[in-house]
């Protein structure tokens, strides 16, 4: 007999989680959003609260959770360096205990489970672009380790639950993603630059700005999530999801200044410890496995709508 799929999204009140909840509701699922509101906010999901097939639960994933669901997207974890370094022990606990609890839940109810892993598992990469078989160059005791090693350990747990208990797992390694609902104060480069430009403040480039990143607009990423979740059990990942278009941080600053028409100047600050010098996903595996999936939104268009979002936010809240 047909019934709606019940889908749990942890971290569902965050930037990516809230967009994912929206997409899953549009597809006719029952969506349960679980979040402790550490970096997420009700504002991101307030428009979903009166939808009959949406449910919100305040809960910290480091504690057990007993529910009946068909699929789990495990996104709970602060994602920006400022936030994940604020309480590094809690960050590791969120990745590791959170994974154990969600895997325990998936095992008990037989749910498919998706893990939001990260390109940070590659650390400061010596292989470029990064392919999934590259094992990474992570400093296990540095300030980023709580995030990088927490996510690496979560991957280990996912693969052990898969091998040991036969769980249907989907591990996505997400590369830098941006768009509306990014936290304005989380210090990530796209939001920082746009907010600085809109306020006419100096644009803070860390280091000489020659380090690179590859930025994916959130709609392309969410499409990848849903397609990966729909694959059969033989597809476990890890799978890179991101946009292979690579630019230097300096170039990004110049584009933002140009697109906002700002008079901001570039200023240079120290590069944070262990900041990766280059990053670009090889998405061959995703393209071949997810029916030709690849990002379709250009940096120009993605930045355009993100600038628009922050312009409105500033007009509303200053």
Place of tokens 């930045």: 303
Of the two residues 15 and 161, which places its CB atom closer to ligand NAD in the complex? 15
- What whole-number distance in Å separates Cα of residue 298 and Cα of residue 239? 22
Let me know: does 240 contact 173? Beta carbons within 8 Å.
yes
Using CB under 6 A as the binding rule, whether residue 273 contacts ligand UDP is answered as no
Stretch that binds ligand UDP, among 42-50, 84-92, 185-193, 300-308 (CB under 6 A): 185-193
* Annotated catalytic residue within 147, 161, 178, 218: 147
Of the two residues 120 and 168, which places its CB atom closer to ligand NAD in the complex? 120
Give the end-to-end CA distance of the chain in Å, rounded to a whole number: 51
Name the minimum Å distance from CB 14 to ligand NAD: 2
Per-residue contact string for residues 86-125; x = within reach of ligand UDP by CB under 6 A: --------------xx--xx-xx-----------------
Which structure tokens are listed for 186? 């989380």
Identify the bridge partners of residue 177 per DSSP, sorted by sequence position. 216
For residues 63, 69, 73, 77, the Cα torsion angle rounded to the nearest 10 degrees is -10
Residue 161: active-site member: no
- Chosen from ligand NAD, ligand UDP, none, partner binding at 2 (C-beta under 5 to 8 Å by type): none
Of the two residues 2 and 66, which places its CB atom closer to ligand UDP in the complex? 66
Of the two residues 206 and 268, which places its CB atom closer to ligand NAD in the complex? 206
Of the two residues 132 and 262, which places its CB atom closer to ligand NAD in the complex? 132
Name the minimum Å distance from CB 16 to ligand UDP: 14
| Per-residue b or e along 248-265, where b marks 16 or more CB atoms closer than 10 Å to that residue's CB | bbbebbbebbebbebebe
Helix (H, G, I), strand (E, B) or coil at 193: helix
Of the two residues 267 and 277, which places its CB atom closer to ligand NAD in the complex? 277
Let me know: does 223 contact 264? Beta carbons within 8 Å.
no
Using CB under 6 A as the binding rule, whether residue 81 contacts ligand UDP is answered as yes
Quickly count: other Cβ atoms within 10 Å of residue 301's Cβ.
11
Using CB under 6 A as the binding rule, whether residue 274 contacts ligand UDP is answered as no
- Chosen from ligand NAD, ligand UDP, none, partner binding at 205 (C-beta under 5 to 8 Å by type): ligand UDP
Q: Figure out which of the listed residues 92, 130, 177, 192 binds ligand UDP, where binding follows CB under 6 A.
A: 192
- What whole-number distance in Å separates Cα of residue 102 and Cα of residue 100? 6
Which structure tokens are listed for 280? 């670009």
Q: Figure out which of the listed residues 32, 194, 241, 249 binds ligand UDP, where binding follows CB under 6 A.
A: 249
- Chosen from ligand UDP, ligand NAD, none, partner binding at 212 (C-beta under 5 to 8 Å by type): none
Name the minimum Å distance from CB 188 to ligand UDP: 4
Helix (H, G, I), strand (E, B) or coil at 265: coil
- What whole-number distance in Å separates Cα of residue 158 and Cα of residue 237? 10
Let me know: does 116 contact 109? Beta carbons within 8 Å.
no
Using CB under 6 A as the binding rule, whether residue 57 contacts ligand UDP is answered as no
2: left (phi over 0), alpha (psi -120 to 50) or beta: beta
Using CB under 6 A as the binding rule, whether residue 204 contacts ligand UDP is answered as yes
**C-alpha pair distances (Å), 235 with each of 88, 113, 159, 228, 289:** 32, 12, 12, 8, 8
> Which residue from 224, 216, 188 is spatially nearest to 299, judged by alpha carbons?
216
- Which 8-state DSSP code applies to residue 271? P
- Chosen from ligand UDP, ligand NAD, none, partner binding at 16 (C-beta under 5 to 8 Å by type): ligand NAD
The residues annotated as belonging to the active site are 147
Interface residues with ligand UDP (CB under 6 A)? Answer: 64-66, 80-81, 100-101, 104-105, 107-108, 176, 187-189, 192, 204-206, 211, 213, 249, 271-272, 275
């Amino acid at each position: 007999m047909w019934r709606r799929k019940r889908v749990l999204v942890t971290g569902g009140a965050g930037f990516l989680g809230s967009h994912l909840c929206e997409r899953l509701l549009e597809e006719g699922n029952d969506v349960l959003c679980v979040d402790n509101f550490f970096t997420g906010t009700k504002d991101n999901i307030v428009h979903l609260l009166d939808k009959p097939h949406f449910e919100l639960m305040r809960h910290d994933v480091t504690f057990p959770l007993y529910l009946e669901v068909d699929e789990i997207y495990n996104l709970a974890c602060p994602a920006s360096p400022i936030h994940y370094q604020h309480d590094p022990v809690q960050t590791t606990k969120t990745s590791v205990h959170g994974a154990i609890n969600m895997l325990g839940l998936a095992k008990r109810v037989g749910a498919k489970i998706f893990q939001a892993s990260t390109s940070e598992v590659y650390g400061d990469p010596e292989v470029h672009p990064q392919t999934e078989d590259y094992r990474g160059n992570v400093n296990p005791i540095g300030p980023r380790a709580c995030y990088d090693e927490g996510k690496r350990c979560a991957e280990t747990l996912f693969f052990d639950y898969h091998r040991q208990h036969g769980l249907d797992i989907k591990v996505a390694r997400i590369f830098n993603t941006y768009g509306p609902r990014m936290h304005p104060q989380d210090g990530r480069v796209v939001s920082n630059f746009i907010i600085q430009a809109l306020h006419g403040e100096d644009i803070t480039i860390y280091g000489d700005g020659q380090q690179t990143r590859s930025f994916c607009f959130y709609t392309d990423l969410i499409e990848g999530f849903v397609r990966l979740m729909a694959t059969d059990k033989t597809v476990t990942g890890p799978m890179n999801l991101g946009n292979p278009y690579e630019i230097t941080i300096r170039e990004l600053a110049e584009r933002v200044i140009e697109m906002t028409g700002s008079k901001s100047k570039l200023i240079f600050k120290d590069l944070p410890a262990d900041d990766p010098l280059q990053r670009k996903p090889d998405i061959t595996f995703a393209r071949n496995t997810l029916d030709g999936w690849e990002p379709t939104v250009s940096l120009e268009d993605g930045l355009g709508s993100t600038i628009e979002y922050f312009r409105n936010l500033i007009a509303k809240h200053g």
